[in-house]
């Protein structure tokens, strides 16, 4: 007999509940509760799903989205272990693969992140999300030319992709090709890309010693707070102060030279 439907769920969830069977019902509930950060209810739904089957990768991936303390009574090492189980059951599970790679990237284990992403790309060579994550890791590892190749591949698949343009900008910036970096950041931002384009436009113009233009972009980034304590905004403010000091010193030297 199917389990009874919990109360206070939206109509679309209730309708799906009546159609789905077994573990799918609990996974549906878990997805709903996770969306609204109702952790206890999500945990309960996923553990009920585990009682039905151990062969559904969605259960393990969704468990990995819970706080670690909620997993203490389960026989798994950690959240990444759960993601790896999900991928073992379904190697093409892109969301789980991206999350596993992101976890390694956060731990600064970018080599493992790249390996995870390349395994996924071997399954789906045209996956833009996997390619984009790979490009970002390669840039951070200093493999700029490889990152450029990956970004160009993304642009072949999705012309004008703002994430690919942003990472291209970073790669060219680190190669000291400032004009090309500026072109990439500018194109990315003007087509709806991340506000971090503004920060790196400022960096590129600072490197070109076009300090007043750099200040303009740092100011534009500084006022676009992404969260309350935005370290990039703080860095932009510090760079503005430094550049203003340099401009004042340069102007003073020019005046002295003019007098002499």
Supply the pLDDT for residue 77: 78
| pTM attached to this predicted model | 0.87
Supply the pLDDT for residue 232: 96
Supply the pLDDT for residue 10: 59
Q: Are 58 and 86 in contact (CB under 8 A)?
A: yes
| Domain definitions of the chain by residue range | 8-90, 100-194, 201-260
How far from each other are the two terminal CA atoms of the chain, in whole angstroms? 97
Mark the ranges of the chain whose per-residue pLDDT is less than 50.
1-5, 17-18, 259-260
Fold of 100-194: 1.25.40
Token code pair at residue 71: 């997993």
Q: What are phi and psi of 143, to 5 degrees?
A: -90, 70
Supply the pLDDT for residue 220: 97
């Amino acid at each position: 007999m199917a389990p009874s439907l919990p109360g206070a769920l939206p109509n679309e969830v209730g309708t799906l509940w009546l159609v789905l069977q077994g573990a799918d019902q609990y996974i549906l509930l878990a997805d709903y509760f996770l969306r609204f950060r109702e952790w206890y209810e999500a945990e309960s739904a996923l553990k009920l799903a585990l009682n039905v089957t151990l062969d559904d990768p969605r259960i393990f991936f969704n468990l990995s989205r819970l706080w670690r303390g909620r997993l203490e009574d389960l026989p798994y090492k950690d959240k990444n272990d759960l993601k790896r189980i999900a991928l073992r059951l379904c190697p093409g599970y892109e969301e789980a693969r991206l999350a596993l790679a992101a976890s390694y990237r956060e731990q600064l284990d970018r080599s493992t992140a790249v390996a995870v992403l390349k395994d996924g790309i071997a399954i789906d060579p045209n996956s833009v999300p996997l390619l984009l994550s790979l490009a970002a890791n390669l840039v951070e590892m200093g493999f700029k030319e490889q990152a450029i190749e990956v970004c160009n591949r993304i642009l072949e698949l999705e012309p004008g992709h703002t994430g690919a343009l942003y990472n291209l900008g970073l790669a060219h910036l680190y190669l000291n090709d400032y004009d090309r970096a500026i072109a990439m950041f500018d194109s990315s931002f003007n087509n709806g890309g991340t506000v971090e384009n503004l920060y790196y436009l400022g960096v590129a113009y600072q490197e070109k010693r076009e300090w007043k233009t750099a200040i303009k972009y740092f100011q534009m980034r500084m006022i676009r707070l992404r969260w309350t304590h935005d370290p990039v905004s703080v860095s932009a403010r510090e760079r503005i102060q430094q550049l203003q000091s340099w401009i004042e010193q340069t102007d003073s030297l020019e005046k002295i030279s003019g007098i002499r």
